[in-house]
Every structure is written in C-alpha cells, then in structure tokens.
Copies of this chain bind each other. A is one copy, B any other.
Amino acid sequence: MKKGLLIILSGFSGSGKGTAVRKLLEKYPEDYILSVSATTRQPREGEVHGVHYFFCEEEEFREMIVTDSLLEYAGYVGHYYGTPRAFVETALEEGKDVILEIEIQGALKVKEKFPDAVLLFMTPPTVSELKARLTGRGTETEEVIAGRLARAIEEADGCEAYDYLIINDNIDECVEELHQLIRAEHKSMARNAETIERIRKELSEYQKGEMK
C-alpha cells in the first residue's frame, strides 16, 4: 500500500485553520486523519483521551522526550504539548494522510525528521480581515487585540520555508482547495518513482516479447 502524506498546517490565529481542518476531516473521513497531541495539562470537560489529546503525567512526557518518541514538543503556560511519533508513523503506513496542526517552529522540527512533509501556511486574505476575525466577537479590549496582532507577527516567522500559502477567503472553498492541493501532492514525481520504474520494466519486458 502506498504511504500517506504528512501534511502540516500552520497559520495565523484567526486564519480559520482549525475550522478548515475539522471540515476537511468531516468531508473526507476516508482520506485524512488528525494527529493527536500529547499534553501534560488536565483534560477539560468533554475532552477524551486519545481523541482530543493523549493526556499524560509530566514524568511520562519527559520519558517520551528522552526516547525520541515525539516529533516535536513545546512548553506553553506551564504545560508540555507534543506530537507522538508512533501515531503519525502508523497512520502513514496505513496509507492515511496525517494532518498536523502546529506552529511553525514545531513544523520545521518535524520537517527535519520527515523531509517529505508538506507544509501549508494559512492566512486570511488581508490584515483587515485578520483583524476583523480577531475582534469578531466584539468582546475584546484594544490591548488584547494589539497583543494578538503582535503574536500574529511572530506566527508568520519562518513561513517562507513552507511549501504553500493558503488564503482562506471562503471556508468551504478553502477546504476544497486544501483537498485538491493534497491530491496534487500525491502526484509528485518523487512519490511516484515506483510507478515509473514499473512502467519501464513492463515496457522492456514487452519489447523482449516476454509478455506476449
């Protein structure tokens, strides 16, 4: 069976990447699987172990770091978050395309371990639109919004190393664009070397008259 692709999606907070991933998985459940992160934080109400996160103790998490069982990890407000390697590798072997929604710094670490990973960066079409989305609920103070804008500048740091820029202008079109882009990536020559090899072999066997 052909291996799946590792698809890493990053982007601005407020770019709609979370919604896009959810809709992509809903629309094409046979094609994609979402990577489940490990975390040391407590489960919130409704969160299921193995579905939303793999919840674990800090000691367990440190053990995963030491044994290189995480593709990347980071600390955030006193807790660890990371991407378990085994989950991703198993899903890829099963031919599923694995979607990983992480920030750029983590993504670049994963890319070192999986050079074949496809890196996508999502943005709203304009900064006005980004600001509109950040302030959308109308309940945030100017300072909170300013903080988010500052964070947005950080969030784009390193995105030039990505493969594709996805402009999320319309969520449903965006989801379909993501799907088509991933389908196109499956056609890359590097991922189809075996097919070419097989055709060459068959052609030369035909020529020798062995397949008559």
Interface, chain A (partner B; CB < 8 A): 121, 123, 126-128, 130-131, 146, 149-150, 152-153, 156, 159-167, 177, 180-181, 183-185, 187-189, 192-193, 195-196, 199-200, 202-204, 206-207, 211
Determine whether the beta carbon of B127 is less than 8 Å from that of A202.
yes
User: How far is it, in angstroms, between the C-alpha of A42 and the C-alpha of B141 when the chains are bound?
Assistant: 74
A184-B164 in contact given A121-B189, A127-B202, A202-B127 (Cβ < 8 Å): yes
For this chain, the copies found in one complex come to 2
A185 CB contacts on chain B under 8 angstroms: 184
Determine whether the beta carbon of A153 is less than 8 Å from that of B187.
no
Determine whether the beta carbon of B165 is less than 8 Å from that of A189.
yes
A164, closest chain B residue (CB): B187
Determine whether the beta carbon of A153 is less than 8 Å from that of B195.
no
Determine whether the beta carbon of B183 is less than 8 Å from that of A153.
no
Q: Apart from A123-B195, A160-B193, A165-B187, what are 9 other A-B pairs with CB-CB below 8 Å?
A: A123-B196, A126-B199, A127-B203, A127-B206, A130-B199, A146-B207, A149-B203, A156-B203, A163-B188
